[in-house]
Every structure is written in C-alpha cells, then in structure tokens.
Copies of this chain bind each other. A is one copy, B any other.
Amino acid sequence: MAKFYFCGSIRGGRQLASTYEKIIKLLQVHGRVLTEHLGDDNEIQTRDRVLSDRAIHDRDLQWIRESDVVVAEVTVPSLGVGYEIGRAIEMGKPVLCLFNNGTKSVLSAMITGSPGVVMYDYSDPVELTNILKDFISQNVPRRTS
C-alpha cells in the first residue's frame, strides 16, 4: 500500500485544520497517511504530548523516509512544514505543495522557487481530488502486493 506524508501547520497555527482533514481523507482513498492525526487537535495532543520534541522530530523524519510521496498544505506559514519540505527534497521524495489562493498569505520564494516542489493553487479542497490522484499515479510505483 502506498504511504503518504502529509505536512500541515501545528504550532504555527491551526486555522486550516479542517482543510488538512479533508486533504487527508482524499489521500486515504489511495493509501495510508502516516500523519493522519494532523487534521485533529485532540489526536495531536493524545499522540504527541507524551513525546519529547526530539522524539517527534525523529519519528516524523523516519515517516518522510518511509513515504512514497510528500503532500504539504503551505497556506499557513510554518517552520515545521518548511523544514519537512527541505528534508524531503534532500531524500529525493516527490513533493506536492498546495496553496489556498483565497487567503492573504504570500508564499515563500523558497517554496515556489524550489525545483524539487510541484505547486498547485486551489480555492476549495474539493478541487484537489483529481490533482492528488494524478500526482500519486505519476509518482507512486504500482505494486502487486
């Protein structure tokens, strides 16, 4: 089964948590989302409050390593999301960045200008159904098991 690492802001701000949840559900149609707790504040607290920051960092890097594809929602500026994108590129992972163009955010040139990133601007997560399907089919090798 394909594995996806989804990145969204946690400590940088949770204003798009419901969007993250929708994207995670769209991804789950195609495989397993290692960071499926990211859409749910209660789940984040339950899973992460017992872990040290070092343990969270090392678990998340291991999940990026294991993943076939990294999908990042980049509308809310977040150090963690930027760091994860940087490390994913280092590992040669395909990276799709999704930006909601209905907000006042302006996206970093380090993301829009990164040759390792595929950018997609959207206004409603519903639009992402086919974008995600296409990105996954282009970047995840089909498996027989």
Contacts and interface: CB of A to CB of B under 8 A. Distances in A.
Interface of A: 9-13, 48, 52-58, 60, 74, 76-87, 89-90, 106-115
A11 B108 contact: yes
B114 A83 contact: yes
B53 A113 contact: yes
Contact of A57 (B54, B57, B113): B113
A58 B108 contact: no
A110 B84 contact: yes
Contact of A79 (B52, B60, B107, B115): B107
A54 B115 contact: yes
Contacts of A55: 113
